[in-house]
Amino acid sequence: MSVLSKLEETLICLKAGRVTLPYPAQARPVPENFRGRPIFDATKCIGCAGCANNCPAREILVFDVCQEIRILQYLGRRCTYCGRCADVCPEKAITMSLEFENATNKISDLGQKLDLFMSTCQRCGRCFKGAAALEELKMKGYRSDDIPHERWIYRADAFLQNEPENEPIVEDIQIELD
């Protein structure tokens, strides 16, 4: 009786065939609606920081180094691939890709960092995205070099960090909130 049951088991195993996936040697496609690593498109990004405000893991950082440049940094380490940043992005600059093979030995490999150019609203002093390259050149103080001596010159000395009388450039602009 037991021999018969063993034979039956053997038949079942033979019928099933080989089920193991040959995975690392052969690529395995993911489903269509799979959410992998988010890809940030810097040409579309307007720097609204909606993704940073909506990230549940709070790992999209926004930092304004000065009035014109906003750094948007995606760390990637505790991202749960929920796709909220891609949902909330008004310009569809974030796409959830199908990449899932993100294993690495250095955690900083997962990060993405965008340096975005922001122009200044002349009325309120807040930032908005520059429209064209020509308008960037027209900006006040965008370039003020010392041409006879062939040097780069900066009107603000806000970035001399070792001198105590410096004031951050953020305080140059009075933002009225009411």
Q: What is the contact surface with other proteins in residues (CB under 8 A)?
A: 19-21, 23-24, 28, 30, 37, 40, 42, 56-59, 65-66, 68-69, 75-82, 99-117, 136, 142-143, 146, 150-157, 159-163
Nearer to other proteins, 51 or 79 (CB): 79
- C-beta of 2 vs 105, nearer to other proteins: 105
Rounded to a whole number of angstroms, the minimum distance from the CB of residue 149 to other proteins is 9
Check residue 172 and give left, alpha or beta (phi > 0: left; psi -120 to 50: alpha).
alpha
Beta partners for residue 38, in sequence order: 96
Distance CA 119, CA 133 (A): 11
Q: How far is the CB of 17 from other proteins (least distance, A)?
A: 12
Between the alpha carbon of residue 1 and those of residues 6, 9, 68, 85, the distances in Å are: 9, 12, 83, 62
Which residue's CB is nearer to other proteins, number 5 or number 108? 108
| Cβ nearer to other proteins, comparing 10 with 177 | 10
The nearest distance, CB 86 to other proteins, in angstroms, is 15
Q: Could you tell me the CA-to-CA distances from 79 to 44, 96, 114, 170 in Å, in that order?
A: 22, 12, 17, 31
Task: Please state the closest distance from residue 111 (CB atom) to other proteins, in A.
Answer: 5
